[in-house]
Structure 1
């Protein structure tokens, strides 16, 4: 029904900060719900240890299931040599054995690191919110947490940030300074958008240019994480994402605001900005709320089903609750 929603927050960047309840330290104290700072995002560094092996991974919380602490099989192929006493018979290379007439076995080395690349979609539709945070702020929080988790497992972290008609590429690195630089870039781009007066209509780069940037950063065996609300991502872009899954592990997270599922403290007639038109909705009407929720669920199901055949899991995160509260809810 609606592809994007106009923020019900005051549009002026000089408005007082939102009243944000920290809920037992689950939100950074500096959070105002509209702008982001590096200090605010650095808050998630101390929480990255919650998802280190052998504990649950952050993805087990997002997807509602346990995930292996290893990356795939946890091993990469090294070489084939002649079988020796004590070798694992499950690793016998039967093709080489048949060709040479002598038993050969495969050797593997432990996979030490996997480059992690975040595709951060800062489309205009992300800069909306009705309850706790703008969707864009929650996206920044999630990007920060995933970066710190990857760094703590000694993985290299990089990003492609899409903003208006720009693509900002940050090459993967395993240093803390590089993570802070990534977060600084993210804060600068985000706050620049907030401070502009007209944030409702922005062009964005084509799927071809975004795909090219991701191909440059995602070398074979990388982990790609798509962070977006998927309101402006086209079918062609979904297809481009599935192409990357052939040689990389790809995950996706959809950010949404509570009003997109029909949940809002607002009552009566409200102005809501769709993809092309502004319309009036009666949020006191139960059927209207149900229609909004049904529209969101249909869109989510469509994207999930489009990605599922390629082994890409789609998760969702609300901007109406602290990120850690949503991730830790299954552990309570």
Structure 2
């Protein structure tokens, strides 16, 4: 299994070499090979990352045309049936939402959630530019936003990964913030950065996301393809062999929990599952695809199979 892990990673610190490792790994999900998203979602087929069909023009209806493609506006204006023609748009910029808020800088087993997030971000970024698309990012620390406009070729991923490494190191060496902003500023930034028809991928534990953001998410989904990649740690749902008292924080509140108590562990699991189900329901309402990763397993072990 260890050969699926970047040889430069220790699970806590981030460095550029460990993220560059995923450049070569991305080839597994390039056409005609299997799709990354179909693999994660358990489907046999999925739209290629960053590809779609764009309206090109209308022409007069011809026998055999799909009636579902009739352009009713032009038909009404001219009095003659017209059909919409579509062409494959070769470039669909992708923008990553990368969560580096305090709750993400946590891990009870193999690695920090923030490290797993960075590995996934690297894989998606290299896969995107390999398909001749541009990739950008919004890095959200919970107190500040770093906006990186979509760029192509090697420059796109390299700029994102270098900033991730720099910001992650800074966060590890500073006191934890007690107050963080909501997802709202990031949603506004994503709306500015992502061209119409582009793709947005959120990689986060979504602890700061509330139902108040549903309208803004729906607006994003109107013009873009949106995906949620949920990152969690086993301790967050009470799965741990530790038996004793431990001080736990979600980034805003801190309390002592007794992990020797089965009731406490069950309460933690119930609270986690309720939050997770709420997130899945929100994604379903807004038409956003959902998949999950756990920080106690290597990334490629979770998406290869």
Distance change (3 Å), C-alpha of 1:30 and 1:102:
same
CA distance in 2, matches of 1:323, 1:290: 27
* Aligned with 2:230 (options 245, 254, 267): 254
Shift of 1:29: 0.6
Q: Which residue of 1 aligns with 2:281?
A: 305
The separation in 2 between residues aligned to 1:194 and 1:71, in whole angstroms, is 32
Counterpart position of 2:254: 277
Given the alignment, which residue of 310, 316, 322 partners 2:292? Answer: 316
Asked if the contact 2:50/2:93 (under 8 Å) is kept, the reply is no
How far apart are residue 88 of structure 1 and its match? 5.9
Matching of residue 130 in structure 1 with residue 79 in structure 2 = no
SS class of match (1:245): helix
Aligned residues: 304
Partner of 1:148: 126
* Paired residues of 1:122 and 1:162 also in contact (CA < 8 A): yes
**Alignment match of 1:66 (pick from 44, 47, 65):** 44
How do 1:40-119 residues align onto structure 2 when only pairs under 5 Å count? 40-70=18-48, 74-83=52-61, 91-97=69-75, 99-119=77-97
- For 1:153 and 1:214, how far apart are their aligned partners in 2? 21
Deviation at 1:87, TM superposition (A): 5.9
Tell me by how many angstroms 1:95 deviates. Answer: 4.9
Residues 1:221 and 2:197 aligned together: yes
Greater Cα shift, 204-213 or 36-45: 204-213
Calculate the TM-score normalised by the size of structure 2. 0.91
What is the alpha-carbon distance in structure 1 between the residues aligned to residue 11 and residue 171 of structure 2? Answer: 14
Q: Secondary structure at the match of 1:65?
A: coil
**Displacement of 1:89:** 6.3
> For the residues of structure 2 that align with 1:129 and 1:106, how far apart are their CA atoms?
51
Kept after mapping to 2: 8 A contact 1:253/1:315: yes
Tell me the equivalent position of 1:165: 143
Q: Does 1:195 align with 2:164?
A: no
Superposition deviation, residue 78 in structure 1: 0.7
Give the Cα separation in 2 of the matches to 1:222 and 1:292.
37
CA distance in 2, matches of 1:120, 1:245: 18
The one-character-per-residue Cα deviations of 1:272-303 (angstroms, maximum 9, x if unpaired) are 23542321322x44333232222111100011
Counterpart in the other structure of 1:245: 221
Alignment deviations for residues 20-77 of structure 1 (CA, whole Å, 9 cap, x no partner): xxx2411101111111011100111111111122333222222222342446983211
Higher mean displacement: 202-211 or 317-326: 202-211
Distance change (3 Å), C-alpha of 1:212 and 1:97: closer
**Superposed CA RMSD:** 2.3
- Cα distance in 2 for partners of 1:51, 1:36 equals 24
**Displacement, 1:168?**
0.7
Q: Equivalent residue for 2:302?
A: 326
Q: What is the match of residue 290 of structure 1?
A: 266
What is the alpha-carbon distance in structure 2 between the residues aligned to residue 309 and residue 285 of structure 1?
A: 36
